[in-house]
Amino acid sequence: MLAYVIRRVFQSIIVLLVVGLVAFSMFRFVGDPIDNMLGQERTDADIDRLRTQLGLDQPFPVQYVKFLKGAAEGNFGVSFRQGRPVATIIAERLPATLELAAVSGLLAIVLGVALGVLTAIYRDGIASNIVMTLSLIGVSLPTFLIGILLIYLFSVELNWLPSFGRGDVVQVGFWSTGFLTASGLKALILPSITLGLYQMTLIMRLVRSEMLEVLRQEYIRFARARGLRDKSVHFRHALKNTLVPVITVTGLQLGAIIAFAIITETVFQWPGVGLLFINAIQFVDIPVMAAYLMLISVMFVGINLIVDLLYYAIDPRLHSDKSAKAH
Partner 1 sequence: MIDSLQRAWRSDFLWSFSRSPVAVVSFLVVLVMVLGAVLAPWIAPHNPFDPATLNLMNGFSSPMEPNAFTGDVFWLGTDDQGRDVFSTILYGMRISLFVGFTAVLFAMVLGISLGLLAGYVGGWVETIIMRVADVQLTFPAILVAMLIFGIAKGFTPVHLRDQMAIWVLIIAIGLSDWVQFARVVRGATLVEKNKEYIQAAKLNGRKPLGIMSLHILPNVLSPVLVIATISLALAIISEATLSFLGVGAPPTQPSLGTLIRIGQGYLFSGEWWILFYPAVTLLVLALSVNLLGDWLRDALNPKLR
199-213: buried (b, 16+ CB within 10 Å) or exposed (e) per residue? bbbbbbbbbbebbbe
Figure out which of the listed residues 284, 306, 313, 314 binds partner 1, where binding follows CB under 8 A: 284
Binding segment toward partner 1, per CB under 8 A, in 60-68, 122-130, 235-243, 273-281: 273-281
Binding mask 299-318 for partner 1 (x = CB under 8 A): -xx--x--------------
Binding segment toward partner 1, per CB under 8 A, in 173-181, 183-191, 207-215, 276-284: 276-284
Residues 48-87 that bind partner 1 (CB under 8 A): none
Residue 273 CB, nearest distance to partner 1 (Å)? 13
CA distance 98 to 324: 33
Tally of CA atoms within 13 A in the half-sphere of 179 that contains its CB: 12
From residue 132, alpha-carbon distances to 145, 161, 235 in Å are 20, 27, 21
Nearest to 276 by CA among 112, 81, 105, 110: 81
262-294: buried (b, 16+ CB within 10 Å) or exposed (e) per residue? bbbbbbbebbbbbbbbeebeeeebbbbbbbbbb
Residues 6+ apart with CB under 8 A from 97: 258, 261, 265, 270, 272, 273, 274
26 binds partner 1 (CB under 8 A): yes
Binding segment toward partner 1, per CB under 8 A, in 18-26, 57-65, 86-94, 201-209: 18-26
Residue 278 CB, nearest distance to partner 1 (Å)? 5
89 binds partner 1 (CB under 8 A): no
Which residue, 239 or 289, has its beta carbon nearer to partner 1?
A: 289
Q: Is 28 helix (H, G, I), strand (E, B) or coil?
A: helix
Binding mask 139-178 for partner 1 (x = CB under 8 A): -xxxxxx--x--xx---x------x---------------
Q: Is 57 left (phi over 0), alpha (psi -120 to 50) or beta?
A: alpha
Q: How many residues bind partner 1 (CB under 8 A)?
A: 40
Residue 28 CB, nearest distance to partner 1 (Å)? 11
247 binds partner 1 (CB under 8 A): no
Contact predicate 112/207, CB 8 Å: yes
Which residue, 121 or 262, has its beta carbon nearer to partner 1?
A: 262
Nearest to 153 by CA among 144, 143, 163: 163
Binding segment toward partner 1, per CB under 8 A, in 32-40, 48-56, 297-305, 319-327: 297-305
Which residue, 96 or 296, has its beta carbon nearer to partner 1?
A: 296
Residues 6+ apart with CB under 8 A from 86: 76, 77, 78, 79, 287, 288, 291
249 binds partner 1 (CB under 8 A): no
Residue 187 CB, nearest distance to partner 1 (Å)? 17
Cα-to-chain-centroid distance, residue 218? 38
203 binds partner 1 (CB under 8 A): no
**In terms of DSSP H, where are the helices of 151-227?**
182-215, 218-225
Binding segment toward partner 1, per CB under 8 A, in 70-78, 84-92, 172-180, 277-285: 277-285
Chain residues that interact with partner 1, rule: CB under 8 A: 15, 18, 22, 26, 30-31, 140-145, 148, 151-152, 156, 163, 252, 255-256, 259-260, 262-263, 266-267, 277-278, 280-282, 284, 286, 289, 293, 296-297, 300-301, 304
